Amino acid sequence: MTDAATDVDRAVRDAAASGLDRASRDDRARWLTAIADALEAARDELMAIAREETHLSEARLNGEVGRTATQLRFFAGVVREGSYLEATLDSPDRSLVPPRPDLRRMLRPLGVVGVFGASNFPFAFSVLGNDTASALAAGCPVVAKAHPGHPRLSRRTVEVARDALAAAGGPESAVTLVEGLDAGVALVTDPLVTAVGFTGSTRGGRALFDLAAARPAPIPFYGELGSINPVVVTRAAATADVDGIAAGLAGSFTRDGGQYCTKPGLVLVPAGAGFEDALAGSLAGAAPQRLLTEGIAAAFDRGAGAIAERDDVEVVFRGEATDAAAPVVIATSAVAFAHAHEAFLEEHFGPLTVLVRYDGDDELADALRVLEGSLTASIQHAPGEDVGPLAEALGRISGRLVFNGWPTGVAIAWAQHHGGSWPATTASVHTSVGATAIRRWLTPIAYQDAPAAVLPPELADGNPLGVPRREDGVLVAAR
Amino acid sequence: MTDAATDVDRAVRDAAASGLDRASRDDRARWLTAIADALEAARDELMAIAREETHLSEARLNGEVGRTATQLRFFAGVVREGSYLEATLDSPDRSLVPPRPDLRRMLRPLGVVGVFGASNFPFAFSVLGNDTASALAAGCPVVAKAHPGHPRLSRRTVEVARDALAAAGGPESAVTLVEGLDAGVALVTDPLVTAVGFTGSTRGGRALFDLAAARPAPIPFYGELGSINPVVVTRAAATADVDGIAAGLAGSFTRDGGQYCTKPGLVLVPAGAGFEDALAGSLAGAAPQRLLTEGIAAAFDRGAGAIAERDDVEVVFRGEATDAAAPVVIATSAVAFAHAHEAFLEEHFGPLTVLVRYDGDDELADALRVLEGSLTASIQHAPGEDVGPLAEALGRISGRLVFNGWPTGVAIAWAQHHGGSWPATTASVHTSVGATAIRRWLTPIAYQDAPAAVLPPELADGNPLGVPRREDGVLVAAR
């Protein structure tokens, strides 16, 4: 065993022995809240480290710490409310064919979860981000793999969480950090790890997904990978307010250096509506943003250079290159896009977007047909315009449909969905944000004719904990 | 493209164009009911074919047709009830950080589903079985791969379903049959297929799972594979009623030739309690059962022969071999089992079970520790006996815990769970039986600030269809 594998093995064994799966829902909710409080108490110290490691702005990082604490508290609420358990009771009926025994089903924690932090959200999608918050809420201890873009922040954040757990009487070993490529491989292949959450690149995510699937006992790998987040601007919308829409797009695709998985990377605009000029105008004063890591900056320069040199494109805008990344806007025709869509659908992580000019409904429809799975799709439309067919076409490929808004900014809500089919994620039936993100770390168990003493209280006669349940097919809301 | 791939491609394209995903829930429920009615109307004809192809008894097949119709109607009820959609609405709140737009989420059908029929349930887990019923309910058309053990039955059953769909005004192309190994491979790798359901052997399932995972765009593969279904007989239970328990086990592991995924294949019995003699006594008059196929019969003979020849076992019972399979009971010690558990945990598809004699709690605990994922685990206990620790240990490895009962016989119910971790299934967070089996074929979509005209009626203001919903975090039961 390599050193990395030994470290991972120890962390995973400690996590498995943490007892988090046996803790009450109330205790887990309290611990999540304690971690949120501790994170906010350490805000200044953590932000200073994050500033150095990520180059993200103070305002952005400040917001992100708040978001991360909100997420932790949100999942505390989800655990307390209890409907995530899907508690379901059927009373016996021997007259049925086949006969029905007394059956009681609920979800239980899967076991130790591996979480890979992302580069672009050093808090909210990193070691204490959504994956960790939802896993701890579910009762699954987490072994987190630090992103190499912010190792010191990851270490300190996990320390803060462990101290908070210990102070609140919880198991410190429920969150552990491991570091390095070898540790990541060891984590995905460790026999005691039961599921993995990942936010990152398509290439890295695919490699780890393949490892998880090739295990002797395969485990679910929930990867959020690349997403182009197409936007359609209707002709009526452009006619009504081309400048306003262009300004909105400029703000969205350049926000924090365009380093969002929800960045609008492909915008279908009506030909001849003046969108290109309006967008270039909006970008005239845009400040460059230093990207997260040298590697990301180099990849962005390479990608932007390659697409700008294509014969079938026009460079609409290219800000002045400094040591930071300046916005780039490329335009092409719908015909060229339909012809070479694979190249145009490649994600550029950074402030670049591609305009695809369509002339009429047929060209638009042809372009929509070749789109791939995406986290979001957006429609800029005029008031009262019929966008039903557009919504249906985009709904087939995206997890979240945005109307007259921009995809960056993912609210924390019961109704949120942050997912989509390949290549947006490796597991299109699940989400990584929103209340149902907890479902990824749970597995059902059914009790057949169980003695009362064996049943979890959530399945007991009389519903002593008052959780929402389904009883003989009828939903019974919480008391 | 091979001929098989061409056939599959055509079937998948037709299925994708069936329009089933756009049909109303009422229509889909009506069509499922029409298929159930047609299946029962064709009962005599279908049973005659099944008798010839599977050698299963008339009583068994008669019950299975009824079960299959019940499943189809059960999912019609699930679709009508509507809570499977997980309709969730959050109203906007711009004061939150991050701000919350109007968000409305529900589940939508994934797309074309591939279903692999099983050998041992020619109706209930075959071309019109649980996978197909739940997929059609979800709005996903099905391309079914016939099991080679009952090709004529598969063809005729699909014809009955397609005729029923056509007569009820539904899309015939929502169910199509393909046949042969190459067609199976083509089905799992077809770009338009979005998910696969499979019931069968660990080896076959693993090969197809690997294909699904290796696709350029991987898809979920829901395989129900091998399961040993351990049973623990406590000393108190054996003392109280060794003959009754032995008779129950004899009935369960030999039922229909032991050809159940829920057959109890490993029974932990207290040493010296007389269980072996009692079981042998119960089996004295057991009739042999001709197994489903020549291949299954040959594999059973090979496997039974190999385990019987081990140095560390005793053959407790072996019925007389004819052209049918006779019951086999093997016994070993808990020490030998713990030492060579991999060999003992191999599934024998047919009427064979392994008794593991334990002497004291430590030996029992050691044996429990090496168990693998299983669809079920059962505890035979005395009234009032504390089986909490046993239930906890077995609950970690099994999807359904059975108390003072036998695992064969899987009720159709809201609270049913038929799943478990590897090797019981390839996807432990899902089930293939029970209401939530429908979840496998659905993916979320969230609408952000959508115009009213675009929203599905289940997400509209005022809840015009009266489905159960969550509104601003509060569950609202159906009206």
Joined tokens for residue B132:
């197909």
Catalytic position from the list A53, A261, A276, A458: A261
Verify whether the Cβ–Cβ distance B388 to A70 is below 8 Å: no
Claim to verify: residue A35 and residue A83 sit in the same structural domain: yes
Q: Is residue A414 part of a domain?
A: no
Task: Give the pLDDT score at B192.
Answer: 97
DSSP letter, residue B7: H
DSSP three-state, residue A193? strand
Claim to verify: residue B255 and residue B313 sit in the same structural domain: yes
Claim to verify: residue A315 and residue A359 sit in the same structural domain: yes
Q: Is A393 left (phi over 0), alpha (psi -120 to 50) or beta?
A: alpha
Claim to verify: residue B60 and residue B177 sit in the same structural domain: yes
Claim to verify: residue A58 and residue A139 sit in the same structural domain: yes
Last residue of a domain, one of B403, B418, B450: B403
Collect all residues of chain A within an 8 Å Cβ-Cβ radius of residue B403.
447-451, 454
**Nearest Cβ partner of A475 from B194, B403, B477?**
B477
Q: Is residue B479 part of a domain?
A: no
pLDDT in tens, A391-426: 999 999 999 999 999 999 999 999 999 999 999 999
What CA–CA distance (Å, rounded) separates A262 from A259? 9
Claim to verify: residue A215 and residue A356 sit in the same structural domain: no
Last residue of a domain, one of B357, B388, B403: B403
B165 and B174 Cβ atoms separated by less than 8 Å = yes
Task: Give the pLDDT score at A290.
Answer: 93
What CA–CA distance (Å, rounded) separates B236 from A402? 62
- CA angle at A297 for the pair A292 and A303, rounded to the nearest 5°: 135
Rg for chain B (alpha carbons), in Å?
24
pLDDT confidence band for B288 (50 / 70 / 90):
confident
Joined tokens for residue A87:
């508690």
A327 and A348 Cβ atoms separated by less than 8 Å = no
Task: Give the pLDDT score at B98.
Answer: 85
A182 inside 8 A of chain B by CB: no
Strand order in the sheet with B193-199: B175-178, B142-145, B112-116, B193-199, B221-224
Task: Give the pLDDT score at A476.
Answer: 86
Structure-token match 């979509």, residue found: B445
Whether B429 shows a pLDDT value over 60: the answer reads: yes
In chain B, % of residues over pLDDT 90: 95
**Domain of residue B395, residue span:** 230-403
DSSP three-state, residue B124? coil
B90 inside 8 A of chain A by CB: yes
What CA–CA distance (Å, rounded) separates B239 from B269? 11
Structure-token match 């919880």, residue found: A170
* Nearest CA-CA partner of A251 in A300, A225, A285: A285
Mode of pairing for the β-strands spanning B175-178 and A328-333: unpaired
Claim to verify: residue B205 and residue B241 sit in the same structural domain: no
What CA–CA distance (Å, rounded) separates B439 from B417? 12
Which residues 46-85 of B are in CB contact (within 8 Å) with A? Answer: 63, 66-67, 70, 77, 81, 83
Q: Is residue B170 part of a domain?
A: yes
Element (H, E) at A253: helix A235-254
Which residues 337-376 of B are in CB contact (within 8 Å) with A? Answer: 373
Task: Give the pLDDT score at A462.
Answer: 96
Q: Is residue B51 part of a domain?
A: yes
Strand order in the sheet with B328-333: A474-476, A469-471, A88-90, A103-109, A442-448, B398-403, B374-380, B230-233, B266-270, B352-358, B328-333, B314-318
Print pLDDT tens along chain A (479 aa).
778 889 999 999 999 999 999 999 999 999 999 999 999 999 999 999 999 999 999 999 999 999 999 999 999 999 999 999 999 999 999 998 889 999 999 999 999 999 999 999 999 999 999 999 999 999 999 999 999 999 999 999 999 999 999 999 999 999 999 999 999 999 999 999 999 999 999 999 999 999 999 999 999 999 999 899 999 999 999 999 999 999 999 999 999 999 999 999 999 999 999 999 999 999 988 888 999 999 999 999 999 999 999 999 999 999 987 788 999 999 999 999 999 999 999 999 999 999 999 999 999 999 999 999 999 999 999 999 999 999 999 999 999 999 999 999 999 999 999 999 999 999 999 999 999 999 999 999 999 999 999 999 999 999 999 999 999 999 987 65
Distance linking the first and last C-alpha atoms of chain B: 52
Claim to verify: residue A257 and residue A150 sit in the same structural domain: no
DSSP letter, residue B54: H
What mean pLDDT is predicted for residues B73-78?
A: 98
Q: Is residue A413 part of a domain?
A: no
In the residue annotation, A261 being an active-site residue is answered as yes
What CA–CA distance (Å, rounded) separates B359 from A45? 58
What CA–CA distance (Å, rounded) separates A290 from A326? 9
Which residues 213-232 of A are in CB contact (within 8 Å) with B? Answer: 213-214, 217-220
Claim to verify: residue A249 and residue A126 sit in the same structural domain: no
Say how many domains are in chain A.
Answer: 2
Question: What are the backbone dihedrals phi and psi of residue B435, each rounded to the nearest 5 degrees, phi first?
Answer: -55, -40
**Nearest Cβ partner of A413 from B103, B411, B435?**
B103
B444 inside 8 A of chain A by CB: yes
Collect all residues of chain B within an 8 Å Cβ-Cβ radius of residue A469.
none
Strand order in the sheet with A221-224: A175-178, A142-145, A112-116, A193-199, A221-224
* Angle between the N-to-C axes of helices B181-189 and B202-214, in degrees from 0 to 180, rounded to the nearest 10: 40
Whether B271 shows a pLDDT value over 60: the answer reads: yes
A132 inside 8 A of chain B by CB: no
Q: Is residue B414 part of a domain?
A: no
* CATH number assigned to the domain comprising residue B302: 3.40.309.10
What CA–CA distance (Å, rounded) separates B131 from A378? 34
A451 inside 8 A of chain B by CB: yes
Mean pLDDT score of chain A = 96
Catalytic position from the list B53, B64, B224, B276: B224
Structure-token match 């005004």, residue found: B169
Claim to verify: residue A247 and residue A392 sit in the same structural domain: yes
Claim to verify: residue B217 and residue B263 sit in the same structural domain: no
Collect all residues of chain B within an 8 Å Cβ-Cβ radius of residue A398.
445
**Nearest Cβ partner of B415 from A105, A220, A426?**
A105
Q: Measured in whole angstroms, how far is the alpha carbon of residue A208 from the centre of its chain?
A: 17
Verify whether the Cβ–Cβ distance A209 to B213 is below 8 Å: yes
Whether B407 shows a pLDDT value over 70: the answer reads: yes
Strand partners, A175: A142
What CA–CA distance (Å, rounded) separates A316 from A278? 10
Collect all residues of chain B within an 8 Å Cβ-Cβ radius of residue A414.
88, 90, 105, 470, 472-473
Q: Is residue A7 part of a domain?
A: yes
pLDDT in tens, B51-67: 999 999 999 999 999 99
Collect all residues of chain A within an 8 Å Cβ-Cβ radius of residue B99.
409, 411
Verify whether the Cβ–Cβ distance A417 to B445 is below 8 Å: yes
Joined tokens for residue B275:
């269980």
3-state DSSP helix/strand/coil % of chain A, to nearest 5 = 45, 20, 35
**Nearest Cβ partner of A399 from B209, B428, B446?**
B446
pLDDT confidence band for B286 (50 / 70 / 90):
confident
**A12: Cβ contacts below 8 Å, ≥ 6 apart:** A112, A143, A187, A190, A192, A193
Strand partners, A475: A470
Claim to verify: residue B242 and residue B206 sit in the same structural domain: no
What CA–CA distance (Å, rounded) separates A2 from A8? 10
Task: Give the pLDDT score at A97.
Answer: 82
B376 and B262 Cβ atoms separated by less than 8 Å = yes
Q: From the CB of residue A111, how many other CB atoms can be counted at a distance below 10 Å?
A: 22
Element (H, E) at A14: helix A3-16
A192 inside 8 A of chain B by CB: no
Mean pLDDT score of chain B = 96
* CATH number assigned to the domain comprising residue A95: 3.40.605.10
In the residue annotation, B140 being an active-site residue is answered as no
Q: Is residue A247 part of a domain?
A: yes
Catalytic position from the list B64, B261, B347, B363: B261
Collect all residues of chain B within an 8 Å Cβ-Cβ radius of residue A67.
97-98
**Nearest Cβ partner of B454 from A220, A388, A478?**
A388
What mean pLDDT is predicted for residues B262-289?
A: 95
What CA–CA distance (Å, rounded) separates B65 from B256? 15
How many interchain CB pairs under 8 A, A with B?
A: 255
Catalytic position from the list A53, A64, A140, A224: A224
Verify whether the Cβ–Cβ distance B454 to A403 is below 8 Å: yes
- CA angle at B250 for the pair B247 and B252, rounded to the nearest 5°: 110
Whether B97 shows a pLDDT value over 60: the answer reads: yes
**Nearest Cβ partner of B399 from A214, A412, A445?**
A445
